[in-house]
Amino acid sequence: MDNKLNRLQLIQNHAARIITRTKKFDHISGVLKKLHWLPIKARIDYKVLLLVFKCLVGIGPSYLKELLSMKTYSQYNTRYSKDTL
């Protein structure tokens, strides 16, 4: 999996260099920031978290909303609470 992510990151870096006409040995992080592009791993994390948020709020895809639910916790955790053994 990491190999595929690394290859995707290389493709994104190359695309950013083409768009901005940056040289091969210049640092890419500033170029990605200038384009407002997240690195591949951060973009995947962002997309997953956004989907989860949308599902919990009720505006996500129905096939995912069915799989998620919020668990509420009591303000006070006592030894007599119903959730204990």
The boundaries of the domain holding residue 1 are 1-37
In a domain, 43, yes or no: yes
In a domain, 75, yes or no: no
Tokens in use for 19?
């768009």
Residue 25 and residue 52 in one domain? no
CA distance 11 to 20: 14
Q: pTM of the entire structure?
A: 0.71
Q: What is the pLDDT along the chain (85 residues), one digit of tens a residue?
A: 789 999 999 999 999 999 999 998 999 999 999 999 999 999 999 999 999 999 989 899 989 888 887 777 767 666 665 555 5
Helix axes 40-57, 2-20, angle to 10 degrees: 100
